[in-house]
Amino acid sequence: MSLLEAILVAIVEGITEFLPISSTGHMIITEKLLGVPDTDFTKLFTVGIQLGAIMAVVVLYWKKFVAPLQDLGRGIQFYLKLLVAVSPALVLGFLLSDYIDSLLESTLTVAISMIAGGIVLLFIDRVFTKETLQQEEQIDFWRAFKIGCWQCIAMIPGVSRSASSIIGGMQQQLSRKLAAEFSFFLAVPTMAAATGYKLLKGYKQITPADLQLFAIGNIVAFIVALLAIKFFIQFLQRNGFRLFAYYRIAAGTLLLALLFSGYLKA
């Protein structure tokens, strides 16, 4: 992987990680279109640069993550909710790790998931109209757990962790803004666990040159994710999900066309 390829993949990660369009799917597509070799390091890089996106959430919502230093009771409640919400993904991720890795190599799976997810998003704003919860403090542990179960759907490449957890939040009567923000909060332990596990397994293969790519990739992903999160919250409140739905359907259809034409391998 060259420096330019690493930067381009990191930009894609930063833009798509918190949008309901599947960051994993877009990074897989980007790497295939660029002709990036499918090596162990490439797979590790794709996961590793999520750390930069994670830090963007922590920086933007700094007060939430340092709450234990200011209000111990409120802070403990916040972190316990995240622990409960992330538990389904931790268990399934551990049990199905090899199977999930095999799905990551299937461009056809990404294309079908993109289209299916887009069709679902077309109707989300009409289906979930009860927005009774406006503040994170109103989310109880049972609701947090159920949102975490919804997030597990995103283990299928192309589904989007952001989309599945936001839909789960709206199904639990969270407002669109709160559902998106809780999805961001939940991304921190989820992605930290997944990234940490992969890096722990593959760190021995990382060379000094690889470390440089990791550092640059994470910095780029961090900066781009900061901008993407701010844009998404404002856009979602005003416009809902329809534009993202159309984009997913169009992107998935294009991907299928590239597959059937032989330009990409399934």
- Quick: pLDDT tens for 236-256: 878 888 899 999 999 889 889
Integer Cα distance of 124 and 85 in angstroms: 21
DSSP 1: -
N- to C-terminal Cα distance for the chain? 21
- Quick: pLDDT tens for 180-194: 999 999 999 888 887
- Is it the case that residue 97 has pLDDT exceeding 80? no
The pLDDT of residue 70 is 66
The pLDDT of residue 128 is 84
- Quick: pLDDT tens for 47-70: 888 889 989 999 998 888 876 666
Integer Cα distance of 4 and 22 in angstroms: 22
Nearest to 43 by CA among 206, 164, 155, 192: 206
How crowded is residue 264: how many other Cβ atoms within 10 Å of its Cβ? 18
Task: Give the residue, 173 or 97, on which the prediction is more confident.
Answer: 173
Integer Cα distance of 191 and 240 in angstroms: 25
Neighbouring residues of 211: CB distance < 8 A, sequence distance ≥ 6: none
- Is it the case that residue 207 has pLDDT exceeding 80? no
Q: What is the DSSP annotation of 203-217?
A: GGG--HHHHHHHHHH
